[in-house]
Amino acid sequence: MKASITDAAAISALSPTALTAYLRARGWTAVESDAAFAVFACPGDDDKIGLDVPLRPSSGDYARRVAELLHNLELVEGRSQLEIYRDILRVNQDVVRLSIDVPEVGRIGLDEASTLFSATRDLVLAAACSAHARRPYFPHRKPPRAVEYVRKVRLAAPEAGSFVVVLESPVTPVLSAVDSASDPLAEPFERAACVMLATAGARVRTSISETTVTGSVDGFTRAVRDGVNANYCEALARLLEGDDGGNVVMSFTWASSRPTPVAVPTRLAFSRSDAEVLLVAARYLKERMPIAGFELIGPIVRLQSAAPTVGGEVTIAGIVDGGIRQVVVSLGGDDYQLAVQAHHQALAVSVEGELTRDGRSYRLAHPLLFAVMGLAESD
């Protein structure tokens, strides 16, 4: 015997937009409508079965009309009302499930639960940041629309499993003839962020395998263009390395009101042993994040130029990350001439720019305000 849903509040939670989007996604067609109801015809049915969809949630009989609709769908689809209800409720939501293996089924320590939920939030935020811009690391201020997206994501009721975190990411339905699957620019940011959570995870999975074989995390640098960042790696590592933690499986169910993303994984698995690689990769990516407005001060230890009057490269020994590091700076003709004087007189110089790191080497790009410290005016 199939159970019927009788809770009026639960039934009323199904909006007319969700009801009609559910029917359209399954091939039903609106054949007539007025202010109160819309009639949808069954796809490919000779008898033209029609379903009445109530359009006024404020009307006194809205819950009763929706209950009738659920009953009719149960008969047509041969599925339980509960299954249909859940699908309608999430018709405009991308759903992410994170299944965490824990020693005792369905149980997790309170402190671990706090870490789990905060790490999950950070993982989603990291993906949203990459949906906004590809960077190796987002240190402090996050893109406003990424933060706003995270506020929209909801934590759903738990599901059966070892320990399953269910996230519902709202997404607007397709309301025009535009096929968002063939027009990426038509995708809302909410869908782009959720897709990034999956595609970046797949790239992380590939990079971990590459590191295992080569012993190098250089592949994570190439993965930045695919949405991988240090924040993502750190958050995923926190999910894996907790005292009660274990393997993590991410699975994705896409809102039926929009076309399913093409070539996007629906399931990703990570093991607890991946945490160590992820933490190393996170540190590696952080080191490659350019630092804007960095002031470099120190003596010049090397000059290199094929045409000094035009310009050249200088190497300055300055303080970076609490230690003395050699930083390469490209200068124009006038500044290079000043650098030559400073080097000959063993004087320190100062310059501002964007500090970047490549392996063990540092470079200051876009140099500004180059000056020699202690240089006499007569010089």
Domain ranges in the chain are 8-89, 93-287, 291-372
Residue 160: predicted pLDDT: 60
- Does the predicted model carry a pTM greater than 0.75? no
Q: What tokens appear for 102 in the block?
A: 């824990």
CA dihedral over 312, 318, 324, 327, signed as positive or negative: negative
Residue 341: predicted pLDDT: 93
For the chain, the average pLDDT equals 88
Q: How far apart are CA 312 and CA 332, in angstroms?
A: 7
Structure-model confidence comparison of residues 180 and 311, the more confident one: 311
Residue 377: predicted pLDDT: 55
Q: What tokens appear for 264 in the block?
A: 């996007």
User: Tell me, what DSSP letter sits at residue 261?
Assistant: P
Residue 321: predicted pLDDT: 73
* pLDDT level of residue 42 (50, 70, 90 thresholds): confident
Does position 182 have pLDDT exceeding 50, yes or no?
Answer: no
Dihedral angle over CA of 367, 370, 373, 376, nearest 10: 170
Closest CA to 158 of 195, 129, 120, 191: 120
Structure-model confidence comparison of residues 7 and 232, the more confident one: 232
Q: What is each CA distance from 4 to 60, 137, 370, in whole angstroms? A: 20, 50, 76
Task: Decide which of 3.30.70, 3.40.50, 2.70.98, 3.30.920 is the CATH code for 8-89.
Answer: 3.30.920
Q: What tokens appear for 314 in the block?
A: 């200088």
At position 129, the amino acid (one-letter code) is C
Percent of the chain at pLDDT exceeding 70: 89
Q: Which CATH class is domain 291-372?
A: mainly beta
Reported as a single tens digit per residue, the pLDDT across 356-367 is 877 678 899 999
* pLDDT level of residue 333 (50, 70, 90 thresholds): very high
Residue 357: predicted pLDDT: 79
Reported as a single tens digit per residue, the pLDDT across 224-275 is 999 999 999 999 999 998 655 568 999 999 998 888 888 899 999 999 999 9
Q: What tokens appear for 304 in the block?
A: 């290199």
Residue 323: predicted pLDDT: 87
* pLDDT level of residue 178 (50, 70, 90 thresholds): very low
Q: What is each CA distance from 171 to 16, 157, 251, 257, in whole angstroms? A: 16, 19, 17, 9
Q: Where are the alpha helices (DSSP H) in 304-354?
A: 333-344
Residue 243: predicted pLDDT: 55
Q: How far apart are CA 191 and CA 196, in angstroms?
A: 8
Percent of the chain at pLDDT exceeding 90: 59
User: Tell me, what DSSP letter sits at residue 215?
Assistant: S
Residue 156: predicted pLDDT: 86
Does position 73 have pLDDT exceeding 60, yes or no?
Answer: yes
Listed range (43-57, 127-141, 201-215, 263-277) with the worst mean pLDDT: 43-57
Structure-model confidence comparison of residues 290 and 168, the more confident one: 168
Average pLDDT (68-88) is: 91
Residue 317: predicted pLDDT: 95
Average pLDDT (14-32) is: 88
